[in-house]
Structure 1
Amino acid sequence: MPDFSNEPIPELKNPKEIFHSGDLTLRIEGEVVPVVDVHLGQQQSIYFEHHILLWKHPNVRLGVKGLKGAAKRFFAGLQIFISEAHGPGNIAFSREAPGQIVVLQLERGQTVDVREHQFLLATSNIEYSFFFQRGLANLFFSRSGGLFIDRFIGQQQGGLLLIHGYGNVFEKYLAPGEVLDVEPGAWLWKDSSVKMETVTALQSSGGILGAIGVMLGGISFTLNRFIGPGRMALRKAETLVV
């Protein structure tokens, strides 16, 4: 019998529990198009991408937060500002697309890397930065110069980071030295301890004709290779966002 125990594990549904960070509580509502419902207290604030706001109570105050490295982000076509929300009161968010919500509790010093445009929101005690990884394939260009990746780091007592995975989300823990090759558009997030690089797999039907076809036709798969140790997650995209 085939052994499926070491393959990525699907997240069967959105989290049902209530999450806390300081005087903030949140829960995930809905299944097909999930909504993040947040109750802010007097102290813990959050930041988020401005276009995902769904509703808020009038007494929830909104602001703007600048990001480090704004010039690089601007010329890369990425957002250079994100929105902030301060309580008390209720505020809710949704990407208005089918998918699943990932809720990560980051302890102090814990770092995760997230594919750009997948971040939903985070509590204010999570540091937000980014880096550019050269040589990393993206969804459209198999030999692109690289890809911007969001990085989140737990500060002080830690906090919450929420990610929207389009379609279904699968999680995998990679043991030290364990390797998984992933289609470039499929990875969602990873622990910073997981290394990532690009590999090209040539495909041939065998024999001389197959080899000639590879050389002349340029038939190949460009994949992102992930090397443990650490966690990572994949998505089966329903909506294309890169």
Structure 2
Amino acid sequence: MSDQRTGSSMPLRFRRWEQRTEVPLFVASLFFLLGYAVRVLVPYLTQPWRGLALILVAVTWLLFVADYVVRIRLSGQGLRFLRTHWLDTVVLVLPLLRPLRLIRVYTAVERQREQPRLSLYARVIAYSGTTALLLGFSAALAVYHEEHRAPGATIRTFGDAVWWASATLTTVGYGDATPVTPSGRVIAVGLMLCGLALLGSVTGSFSSWLVQVFTREDEKGPTQSD
């Protein structure tokens, strides 16, 4: 197949591969999250579930690696791919961040249907809400895994971790549950940045929608009374 390019800087075969694999890989990322959750939440001596969860995590991660290698080959960029597609690289190293690619999944689905079914504002709200839920759950699992056995930890149960993730993602930050380990604090910083970005996108989209509504009302002018 030739590296035909139409409307994009990437070869046509790269974009076709991306369109065909985004949805299956998103499903694989949900299985990865499921396996990771079992590894974190199920008691240590529980078998065979922990062993099966480890296999599930390993297999899905190998799928991500294979997809990454294929993307590099199809892009024709070589090692420059690591710089031009840095999010793909980050997500490969930290698979729990794959919810950040959710917008690509939606784009791939809509390309198959040839037309969007949601308005721009509905898409922003849906993407932000779904991403917030998946990221919050992933961060709660990760911080619980790092914190619950640490000396002086305030996050002792998974419920504590969910409460912390909700407060952090919404930028509230009550401070009653805070990470004490270096890795837990790194997770917290990442979740803070994601929370600010998601909150900003939702607020901006909602404000823009309100402006359009009020503008249309102003253009109609006052109604004439009898």
How would you bin the TM-score normalised by the shorter chain? under 0.3
Bigger share in strand:
1
TM-score of the pair, normalised by structure 1: 0.23
Between structure 1 and structure 2, the one with the greater Rg is 2
Bigger share in helix:
2
Asked which structure has the greater RCO (Cα within 8 Å, sep 6+), the reply is 1
